[in-house]
């Protein structure tokens, strides 16, 4: 019983923590691809990664030849067009960035992204890559709506262009900010003066209502594609950039678990075997016990 209570308490704690972190927008779902379409998407995603990301973010848990085999890329094409170092086809997918110097340059060394879609989930990565926006208060002039105050520059700005939050979004975010401040003050006063609980609880309730309504409107704006506005055009249209990011995430999802598709394929056969074996076992049980009274 104590164990069950502990698990429930832990789940509630995680839920409260997630609620306190607030919204992460946009939060759009990716189009699901299968079969040959998925392989082609992963091939395009690898091209995007090798051209834009590999210089900083290694994929050291994977090798070039395994990737070439799984994504149906001829090894000579991989060597000529996708390996930009003196590496061999059997090498791990590393880069030459010195970790110590990278820490000095960026404040922290760019992480290896081999398992990023397993730790953060593909949809999170997809929206993160699309969530950079202009913010003059940040060192690189950009921020990210999914990962606030991230230290990474917008390396794909040339492809995407530069976007900014719309005036409506800024207004709603200010409403949320002020409501949270009012709520924090009311909670502090409630601890200091519990005799005014009725008035202060009303303030907290009103602040929660404002936050809830504003977040609902922000979610609707994001779903309708009205969260950001394009300040500077890039090489790709917004639709083309979204597709490129979907390809990139599909590639990273493959890198995170290269055996995933094979595991899912074998899993269907395993479930089928278990079902058939269950039928046989049931019939055998009936045969063994038919004369037992």
pLDDT for the residue numbered 216: 95
Q: Are strands 132-134 and 92-93 parallel, antiparallel or unpaired?
A: unpaired
Identify the CATH class of 31-163+237-258.
mainly alpha
pLDDT for the residue numbered 293: 58
> In Å, how far are 153, 188, 189, 203, 210 from 185, measured between CA atoms?
35, 5, 6, 10, 15
Whether a cis peptide bond, with omega within 30° of 0, leads into 61 is no
Backbone angles phi, psi at 33, to 5 degrees: -120, 155
Helix (H) or strand (E) holding 164: strand 161-165
Query: What is the C-alpha separation between 124 and 120, in angstroms, rounded?
Result: 6
Backbone angles phi, psi at 229, to 5 degrees: -130, 145
How would you class 173 by CB atoms within 10 Å of its CB: exposed for 0-12, middle for 13-18, buried for 19 or more?
Answer: middle
39 close to 222: Cβ distance less than 8 angstroms: no
Query: What is the C-alpha separation between 235 and 70, in angstroms, rounded?
Result: 30
pTM for the whole thing? 0.82
Query: What is the C-alpha separation between 282 and 8, in angstroms, rounded?
Result: 37
Query: What is the C-alpha separation between 229 and 245, in angstroms, rounded?
Result: 18
Residue stretches of the chain with pLDDT short of 70? 1-22, 293
92 close to 63: Cβ distance less than 8 angstroms: yes
**What is the tens place of the pLDDT at every residue in 183-223?**
999 999 989 888 888 888 999 999 999 999 999 999 999 99
pLDDT for the residue numbered 255: 97
Per residue, the 3-state secondary structure of 115-135, as one string, reads: CHHHHCCHHHHHHHHCCEEEC
What tokens does 46 get? 């690898």
pLDDT for the residue numbered 11: 43
Under DSSP, is residue 222 helix (H, G, I), strand (E, B) or coil?
Answer: helix
Query: What is the C-alpha separation between 209 and 182, in angstroms, rounded?
Result: 12
Query: What is the C-alpha separation between 271 and 263, in angstroms, rounded?
Result: 12
């Amino acid at each position: 019983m104590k164990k069950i209570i502990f698990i429930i308490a832990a789940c509630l704690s995680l839920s409260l923590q997630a609620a306190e972190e607030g919204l992460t927008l946009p939060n759009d779902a990716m189009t699901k691809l299968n079969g040959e379409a998925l392989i082609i998407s992963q091939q395009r995603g690898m091209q995007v990664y090798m051209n834009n990301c590999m210089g900083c973010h290694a994929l050291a848990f994977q090798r070039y030849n395994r990737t070439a085999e799984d994504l149906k890329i001829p090894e000579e094409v991989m060597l000529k067009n996708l390996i930009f170092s003196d590496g061999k086809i059997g090498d791990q997918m590393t880069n030459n960035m010195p970790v110590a110097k990278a820490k000095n340059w960026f404040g922290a060394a760019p992480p290896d992204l081999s398992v990023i879609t397993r730790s953060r989930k593909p949809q999170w990565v997809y929206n993160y890559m699309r969530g950079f926006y202009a913010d003059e208060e940040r060192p690189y002039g950009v921020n990210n709506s999914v990962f606030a105050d991230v230290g990474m520059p917008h390396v794909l700005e040339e492809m995407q262009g530069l976007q900014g939050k719309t005036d409506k979004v800024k207004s709603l975010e200010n409403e949320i900010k002020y409501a949270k401040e009012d709520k924090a003050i009311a909670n502090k006063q409630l601890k200091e003066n519990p005799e005014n609980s009725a008035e202060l609880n009303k303030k907290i309730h009103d602040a929660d209502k404002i936050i809830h309504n504003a977040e609902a409107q922000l979610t609707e704006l994001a779903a309708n594609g009205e969260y950001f506005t394009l300040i500077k055009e890039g090489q790709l249209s917004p639709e083309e950039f979204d597709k490129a990011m979907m390809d990139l995430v599909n590639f990273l999802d493959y890198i995170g678990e290269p055996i995933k598709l094979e595991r899912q394929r074998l899993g269907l056969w395993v479930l089928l075997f278990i079902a058939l074996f269950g039928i046989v076992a049931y019939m055998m049980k009936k045969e063994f016990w038919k004369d037992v009274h």
